[in-house]
Structure formats: structure tokens, C-alpha cells
Amino acid sequence: MKRKMFFVLTLAIVLPLALSAQKVKNQKPRVKSLVVFFSHAGENYAVGNIAVGNTKIVADYICEATGADQFEIVAEKNYDMPYAELIKVAKDEATRGELPAYRGSVDVTPYDTIFIGGPIWWGTFPRVMFTFFKQNNLGQKTLIPFATHEGSGLGSVVSDVKKAYPKARVLNGFSIYGHEVRTEREKVTRWLRSLGR
Ligand SMILES: Cc1cc2nc3c(=O)[nH]c(=O)nc-3n(C[C@H](O)[C@H](O)[C@H](O)COP(=O)(O)O)c2cc1C
């Protein structure tokens, strides 16, 4: 009788543990997303002199809402100059197709989904972001472009990302006015919800 009781008790304890272990084994581990972005603090259009760049604010919202990691593309070059001057520098870079260097690196292999964000500079992302595209293979991933701007929306960002990564799954993208990011967080939240994140 004691032996039977022992057998039943053991089964009652061991069986649920074995089943839950099996469940964990069969579950795909939740892979984190990554937010890669460039953002320029300092004097900017419509917002004056800002301590934190507009796109950085959106990148932080995405990370807070989704638990994503982030990599900030920081140019080696110093863009700390008045807006009127930066406009000229950026136009010159775009015209010449320059690929300015950036600091550091990130291992993109663990990430299935990568948000890619930046300000619109002359209709698309700043050139330093194209340096990142050249140096990082995101070919098999889901890419989600986003941009902050002052009238151009996404500009040619989505087609430029598709051009850089023809084999990636590139989603439609999201844009928000730079001067709205501090007061309209809900727009970002709603967009993320629409993506199921
Ligand atoms: C060099 C430069 C070029 C810009 N070109 C555009 C543009 O073509 N279209 C637009 O809508 N906004 C343009 N803007 C405005 C920025 O896209 C906008 O202020 C953005 O929110 C800045 O983001 P950040 O603070 O993350 O750098 C430009 C700003 C700068 C500094």
C-alpha cells in the first residue's frame, strides 16, 4: 500500500515537471529586436537647441515598449555646428555620396527584427547611416524603418533600405514630426501596437 502511494505521489510530482520541460523545449526562444538609429542633438529645425535628438527619443520609446536593445550610430565626424551650416555639410555629403565613418560596432546576428531610424536629411537618412548599411549584413531580417522629419515624412527611406537590403523583409515604416516626439508619444505606441509589439 505504502509503495503504491509512493508511486502515485512520485508520478504526480514528476509528470507535470516533465511536461513543462517539454513545453519549454518546444517553444521558440523569444528573440529580442534591435533598434539601430542616428540622431543629432544641438541646434535643429523647429525645435531650437535640443539636448537629446528627436529620433533618439523615438528610439527610446520603442526600446521601452518592446524591450529591444539599441545601437546608436555615432559619427566620427563632428556635426556639432549651427543648423544653417549643417544643412550645407549634409547636402555636400549627399551630393558626393560620402560614407562618413561611425564609432563602435554591434553584432546583429542574434536579432530577427531590426528597427532602423534616423532624421530625414535632404529627403532620406543621413549618409552615415548608409555607411552602417554597407558594413552590416541585414539581408535575411525583418527591417522596420522609421524617421523623424519636418515635412518630408519618410522621404525615400523605405526604398533606400530596400535597395541596401534587397533580400530583407522591409515593412512600410513610420514617420513623425521631430517637433511632436516629446508630446505625442501615443503616436509611436499606436504604431507599435499596429505591428503587434
Ligand atoms: C541637415 C538637415 C537636413 C534636413 N533635411 C530635411 C528634409 O529634407 N526634410 C524634412 O522634412 N526635414 C529635414 N530636416 C529636419 C529633420 O529631419 C528633423 O528636425 C528631425 O526630427 C531631426 O531629428 P534628430 O534630432 O534625431 O536629428 C533636416 C534637418 C537637418 C539638420
Closest CA to 44 of 32, 54, 33, 30: 54
In the numeric block, which cell numbers belong to residue 174? 513610420
For the chain, the structural domain boundaries read 27-194
Residue closest by Cα to atom 6 of ligand 1? 121
| C-alpha to C-alpha distance for 156 and 65, rounded to whole angstroms | 26
Q: Which atom of ligand 1 is nearest to the CA of 50?
A: 25
Choose the CATH number for 27-194 among 3.40.50.720, 1.10.1200.120, 3.40.50.360, 3.10.20.30: 3.40.50.360
pLDDT confidence of 45, banded at 50, 70, 90?
A: confident
Size of the chain, expressed as the number of residues it contains: 197
pLDDT tens digits for 61-87? 999 999 999 999 999 999 999 999 999
> How many Å lie between the centroid of ligand 1 and the Cα of residue 5?
74
DSSP annotation of 32: P
Is any atom of ligand 1 closer than 6 Å to the C-beta of 44?
yes
**Which pLDDT value is given to residue 13?**
57
Closest CA to 121 of 74, 55, 51, 49: 55
Query: Which residue carries 529591444 as its cell?
Result: 68
Segment 171-186 shows an average pLDDT of 98
**Which pLDDT value is given to residue 28?**
47
How many H helices and E strands in the chain? 6, 8
> How many Å lie between the centroid of ligand 1 and the Cα of residue 112?
29
pLDDT tens digits for 131-151? 999 999 999 999 999 999 999
